Structure 1
Amino acid sequence: MGPTRCLSTDVKSEILRCSVSPTRYGTMVDAEAAKASETAMGSEFDGLSLYEKKVLLVDREIDAQGMGRYQWSVFFTCGAGYLLDLLWAQAFGLVVTPMQNEFGFGDEDLGTIFTAFSVGLTAGAFIWGILVDTIGRSAGFNYTVLISSIFGVWLGGSSNYRTVVVLTALTGIGIGGNIPVDTTICLECLPQNRRWLLPTLSIFQPIGVVACSAMAYAFIPKNSCLSEVACSTAGGGVQCCAREDNWGWRYLMFTIGGITITVFILRSLLFTFQESPKYLLYRGRDEEAINVLQYIARFNKRECSLTWETFNALSSDTSHYSAHNSGPLLGTGADKKDLSMVEMVGAELARFKPLFSSFAMARLVILVWVIYAFDYWGFTIAGSFLPTILARKGRDLGLGLHETYRSYIYIYSFGIPGVLAGSLIYGRRRTALLLSSALFGACLFAFTLVSDQSSYIAINGLVYFFQSMFNGVLYGWTPEAFPAQVRGSACGISSFFGRLVGIVAPIAGSHMLAHSLNGVLYLAGAGVWVCTVAILLLPKKSLQGQNH
């Protein structure tokens, strides 16, 4: 953060001219209002670095333009990324049983498929989280989906267990970047009075799960083997599960792969995403940031009052501060073309200093990592093994294959009102996170008591209701908790720790599944309650979010 300085009169006037443009509001600003605005502007800028002052002006411009066609386009295309996240995750949970029948692997190997997906998700979250702050938001916006579509379609043609494991991991690398990239992009495009749309993004996740369950219901029951014995392990004369009798899971993979390709076309060809102005400012590309804001204004058929002259006046006012720096640094708006490779690496690493700049910030970072780790522990185990548990308990309850797959649709439909509930109380983030995590864990424990079909559907519906509510608020709040220069990296690293734990979770779950169905649920529920404790320890100020 830069030294505390007051703005010169000329700079105040230039900024005030852009901030209260009469052409925007339709009326002339009287002298008293102008004076009051000038005083407020000066006090808001006190103590901010040059970069933070520019970001504040960008935020004001985005707020003034409001929620236009561009913002809605970003919201829905980012929502498509959220949809793909759980569309694929749910698919693996639904296809492992017919895969197991065809390829003949055991319950322990079943967990390896989920672990492979988690390895890919972990690598994707870390790689894309860092890259989105390094090479830009737009690259992550498009390439994550491209990678998922290529390997996802290929997955449907797999002919053996090892190929499935490898392609599952590669698909996960693309999917793993979706949440940190899309939340960062959406936050930086939305006006502040529409921040409640951040948790609402998560509504696309249960929609993806329901859609996947509906497609699985259509494809798998009538296109799956009657035999549960793989031909590779069956003896002579024994009816076995052959590839030609088991196309249901492949149809599902091809369909989801096709949906992923459609999202890529939507993002790359039908809608032109503009690089985030905040990213451009931090990289010293001020003129490009202004051009983006002007493009958005034209797209929305509105006016942009922020100009290059405004930034130039602001930079001139702080030029003596920049002159005392040892060299051009990221975030100052200075030209970085003359930096050596070593200096560039040092500047990139320096971006992470704000994450541990104070005890309160370090505490926040560590607690967010803990929350993500145990959230992923809980819902990875639940998401990976609940379909298997439901199928086995369904058989015990007398449910056929059709009834079991149809019940998935009922259960996962609960996630949609869960996300909406989180959005409604998003203003009370702490309460929303505490309530949803505590009840999410409690419902996982309660499922061990299921003894009939109605409670089987109701309790699982509540599990998914509170899981969706919790994750919606958590994913929406996380980018708000961190400053823009490390926002993508912070979200990506948080997701990385969650995904990392998600690698171990299926292994633990598969070993537990071999001995006890209920033990898997206890593992998941206990992990979610660790999140509840960590939320209680969060600094209260952190739940208010960052403005720069």
Structure 2
Amino acid sequence: MSDDRSALDRTIDKIGMGWYQWSLLALCGFGWMADNMWLQGVAVILPRVQDHFHISDSRIGILSSSIFFGMMIGAVGWGTCADIMGRRVAFQSTLFFAAVFGLLSPFMPNYGSLCLCFFFLGSAVGGSMPTDGTLFIENVPHAKRYLLTALSVFFSLGAVVSSILGAVIIPSHSCPESPDEPCDPNTQNLGWKYMLGILGVFTAFMCIARIVLFRMRESPRFLVASGRHADAVHSLRRIMSFNGHDYPLTIEDIMDGPQDIEQQKDAQPIGSGNARPPLSAGSHQMEYHATNESPDPHLSHNHTFVTPVEEQGPQLPAAPVFAPIPHVHLQKVSKLSTIPLIGHPLAAWLERMELLFTPEWRKTTILVWSAWALIALSYTMFNVFLPKLLESRAIQNGSGGRAQALKQYLFYAFAGVPGALLGAWMIETKLGRKGSLILSTLFTGVCTGAFVLVQSEGAVIAVTMAISLGATTMWAVLYGMTPEIFSTEVRGSATGMASALSRIAGMAAPLLGGWFLAISPSLPIYVSTVICFAAGACALPLPGDAHYPRSKNSSVTFAH
């Protein structure tokens, strides 16, 4: 195995999975939990908000679209922030702002201000999943990277928290179910506000745990990729100390060749900044160096891996060199950088987007991003209206109404918890990541279509639980495989953009679902089923795990 790893890989593997890594697992899990906790919370309170502000069916979906729109902005913004400013800033900031706007949301006086507050809430919590996943995978040994998929357990627990709160609070603090009975929303329909307040308090506690109770160190991989090798050594020493280890660690332990080490001695000292080497205009292949992960079966695939030879003269070790960026594009980026305030971040984001569409990455980028958008569109179109659909069915069947619907939704939420563990197990079997994604999308699509056909209470619970299990497994595999495909320099931007596309789809889903619902109650379900199958088709052209490049010392190319 040592022949396939860089010096940094060997050092991180040697540090192993200690208290620092397990603590990071839990704290990154809080970000994933908050994401789904708020999404499911919106779905649970949607009918009660509609009653409170007297919103029509055609406009109530705007509330869900607002938080998804914010999540789209947050995913792109925080993902790029993680690539430019470091993982630590995004890790500590996302839940802080989510807690602030979550605590403010119950006090919004009207529907418009509530939608605006949810937009800002979404822009904060939406950055948690891509940045937390990136941070976690860069701090654990290769043998434990499957835990990124298992991290989705926290995502499912977020839905459970919201569902329990909804089942306990909403029925006794809402307007009467009969439209003939009078109701004063300001005194009788406050359950949804209580629920938002409690979710805000939960988020605040998770934020405090991240910032106050834990001292997070900057990602060593980010520091090395940024040319800050001495800082990386310092960060690794602190992590070892946290784990209770105490053995020597020098720059030689994170760099491969003696020539690299000599150059680093001539490089800038700690605190010299985040300077990155310029992109080569003449390179047509991606080079992996000790500043990055070495290729292994869990990382990027369909790329060229070459051990680079350093140029003469004292330089920082080179970051990965991508295919040339057109001169015209560089001129546009240069002009954009002159725009006040947003110029430099926008130019940096466009540069990383250009890197993702070089020949080495183009096909993988398009397929992975398409899978994210389609899965989000399918899942959200079904999930966001599920409490309302269950409530309507329960009232029609005379089987308990609102309380019965929330009970069924609680079963739905609990069924998703083992999905993350199932996904973590599946990707380690012969199915691999590609096969697991195809199988889970197929299963979820079939069960979603079956939801239209079932009528009895038991059958409805069974089918919705199967959908929840399949969907959570599907998301777990997708979330786990995406950060592994991209290299350190663009990982935050790539996963952030993938998450942003899923938020765009999630933003469109409630609006499209509302239109389809007006045509036929079954139409949104059928559309969701077809889209789910299309998402699985996006995984078909992706290479299997066995085709991932393994050798660090040879140049291996797979055509896209």
- TM-score normalised according to structure 1 size: 0.83
- 2:245 counterpart SS class: coil
Which residue in 2 is equivalent to 1:331? 319
- State the AA in 1 paired with 2:119: A
Q: CA deviation at 1:330?
A: 7.0
Alpha-carbon distance in structure 1 between the residues aligned to 2:33 and 2:352: 31
The C-alpha deviation readout for 1:473-509, integer Å capped at 9, x for no partner, is 1101100001111111110011111111222111101
Matched letter for residue 385 of structure 1 = F
**TM-score, normalization: structure 2?**
0.81
Q: What is the CA–CA distance in structure 1 between the aligned matches of 2:436 and 2:225, rounded to whole Å?
A: 33
> Aligned in 2, Cα 1:175/1:317: closer, same or farther, shift over 3 Å?
same
Tell me the residue number matched to 2:467.
463
- Distance (Å, rounded) in 1 between the aligned partners of 2:420 and 2:520: 31
Deviation at 1:357? 3.4
- Match of 1:448, SS? coil
Residue in 2 that maps onto 1:493: 497
Cα distance between partner residues in 2 of 1:145 and 1:396: 41
Which of the numbers 470, 476, 481 marks the counterpart of 2:480?
476
Counterpart secondary structure, 1:524: helix
Find the counterpart in structure 2 of residue 208 from structure 1: 158
8 Å contact from structure 1 (residues 432, 473) kept in 2: yes
1:515 shift after superposition: 3.1
Aligned equivalents of 2:36 and 2:550: distance in 1?
28
Residues 445, 533 of structure 2: 8 Å contact kept: yes
Rounded to whole Å, the distance in 2 between the matches of 1:58 and 1:108 is 54
Partner of 1:67: 17
Larger mean Cα displacement after TM superposition, 423-432 or 110-119: 423-432
1:269-317 CA-to-partner distances (Å, cap 9, x unmatched) read 0001110011111221111100111111111012454312554944246
Q: Give the Cα–Cα distance (whole angstroms) in 1 for the partners of residues 474 and 549 of structure 2.
A: 17
- CA 1:442 to 1:127, structure 2 compared with 1: closer, same or farther past 3 Å? same
Q: 1:545 to 1:242 in 2, by over 3 A?
A: farther
The one-letter amino acid paired with 2:105 is L
Structure 1 residues 545, 301: CA separation in 2 closer, same or farther (over 3 Å shift)? farther
- Does residue 527 of structure 2 align to residue 523 of structure 1? yes
- How much does 1:355 deviate? 2.4
1:453 to 444, 447, 457: 457
Aligned match of 1:188: 138
> Paired residue for 2:101?
151
Distance 1:537 1:162, change over 3 A: same
> 2: distance between equivalents of 1:423 and 1:501?
25
Q: Is the 8 A contact 1:197 1:423 kept in 2?
A: yes
Structure 2 partner of 1:167: 117
Is 1:90 aligned with 2:36?
no
2:190 counterpart residue number:
247
CA distance in 1, matches of 2:425, 2:15: 24
Among 281, 291, 303, the alignment partner of 2:234 is 291
The amino acid that maps onto 2:521 is: L
Who is 2:251 aligned against? 308
What displacement does 1:351 show?
4.8
The amino acid that maps onto 1:91 is G
Q: Verify the 8 A CA contact 1:227 1:239 in the aligned structure 2.
A: no
For the Cα contact (< 8 Å) 2:433–2:545, is it kept in 1? no
* Aligned residue number for residue 421 of structure 1: 422
The answer to whether the Cα contact below 8 Å between 2:133 and 2:148 also exists between their aligned partners in 1 is yes
Q: Tell me the equivalent position of 2:199.
A: 256
Cα distance 1:124–1:521, how it changes in 2: closer, same or farther (>3 A)?
Answer: same
Q: Is the 8 A contact 2:37 2:158 kept in 1?
A: yes
Which amino acid in 2 is paired with 1:297?
A: M
CA distance in 2 between partners of 1:385 and 1:546 (Å): 45
Count of aligned pairs between the two proteins: 483
1:11-410 alignment runs, 5 A limit = 41=3, 56-226=6-176, 239-310=182-253, 311=255, 313-316=258-261, 321-323=310-312, 331=319, 351-352=352-353, 354-358=355-359, 361-400=361-400, 401-410=402-411
Change (3 A) 1:60 1:329: closer
Structure 2 stretches lacking a partner, 5+ long: 265-308, 322-333, 553-560
Q: Separation in 2 of the partners of 1:244 and 1:547?
A: 67
Look up the equivalent residue of 1:414 and give its one-letter code. A
- CA–CA distance in structure 2, aligned partners of residues 441 and 196 of structure 1: 25
What CA deviation, in whole Å up to 9, does each residue of 1:361-407 have, x standing for no partner?
A: 21110001110110110111122111111111122222322222122
Counterpart-to-counterpart distance in 1, 2:55 and 2:231: 54
Deviation at 1:409, TM superposition (A): 1.5
2:537 aligns with 533
Query: Which amino acid is the alignment partner of residue 501 of structure 1?
Result: A
Distance in 1, Cα, partners of 2:526 & 2:405: 22
SS at structure 2 position matched to 1:463? helix
Partner residue, 1:512: 516
Structure that is richer in helix per residue: 1
Alpha-carbon distance change, 194 to 332 in structure 1, aligned in 2, over 3 angstroms: closer
Residue identity opposite 1:529 in structure 2: F
Return the letter of the residue paired with 2:103: V
Once residues 13 and 454 of structure 2 are traced to their aligned partners in structure 1, the CA distance between those partners, rounded to angstroms, is 50
Please say if residues 98 and 124 of structure 2, whose CA atoms lie closer than 8 Å, have aligned partners that are also in contact. Answer: yes
- Residues 300, 316 of structure 1: CA spacing in aligned structure 2 closer, same or farther, 3 A cutoff? closer
Residue aligned with 1:500, SS: helix
Change (3 A) 1:317 1:417: same
Q: Go from structure 1 to structure 2 and tell me whether the alpha carbon gap of 1:129 and 1:542 turns closer, same or farther (over 3 Å shift).
A: farther
**1 CA distance for matches of 2:228 and 2:458?**
59
Larger Rg: 1
In 2, Cα distance between equivalents of 1:512 and 1:436: 25
- Please state how far the C-alpha of 1:329 moved relative to its aligned partner: 8.8
Once the two structures are TM-superposed, the CA of residue 208 in structure 1 deviates from its matched residue by 1.2
Question: For 2:70 and 2:320, how far apart are their aligned partners in 1?
Answer: 36
Answer yes or no: is the 8 Å Cα contact 1:228–1:241 preserved in 2: no
Determine if contact 1:477/1:543 at 8 Å carries over to the other structure: no
User: What are the superposed Cα offsets for residues 420-440 of structure 1, whole Å, 9 maximum, x if unpaired?
Assistant: 111111222122111100111
How far is the alpha carbon of 1:539 from its aligned partner?
A: 2.8
State the alpha-carbon separation in 2 of the partners of residues 253 and 262 from structure 1: 14
